[in-house]
Amino acid sequence: MPTDPPEPKPEGALHSLAKLENLIQLGLLLPACVVIGWAAGLALDHWLGTTWLNVAGLIAGAIVGFAQTVRVALSHMRD
């Protein structure tokens, strides 16, 4: 059973723009996750009448943002 040769990696301007998009995503991902987590915690604080959920949301957003940043960085390093 013959196997097909591996496909060549795409090159050119479009491929370079795709790599650039991944790097821009790294710069925006962590702050966006932190802000979204903080805002969700603030909304829950307002709705439930508590005072600590905004801090929990901020921490959860930072953890999720860091994990996603590492995942994107590792996938970029594989390319």
Q: What is the pLDDT of residues 1-53, one digit of tens each?
A: 567 766 656 577 777 787 788 778 888 999 999 999 999 999 999 999 999 99
Max alpha carbon distance in the chain (Å)? 67
Domain spans in the chain, listed from the N-terminal domain onward = 28-78
Listed in order, strand segments (DSSP E) in 1-79 are: none
Whether this prediction's pTM lies above 0.75 is answered by: no
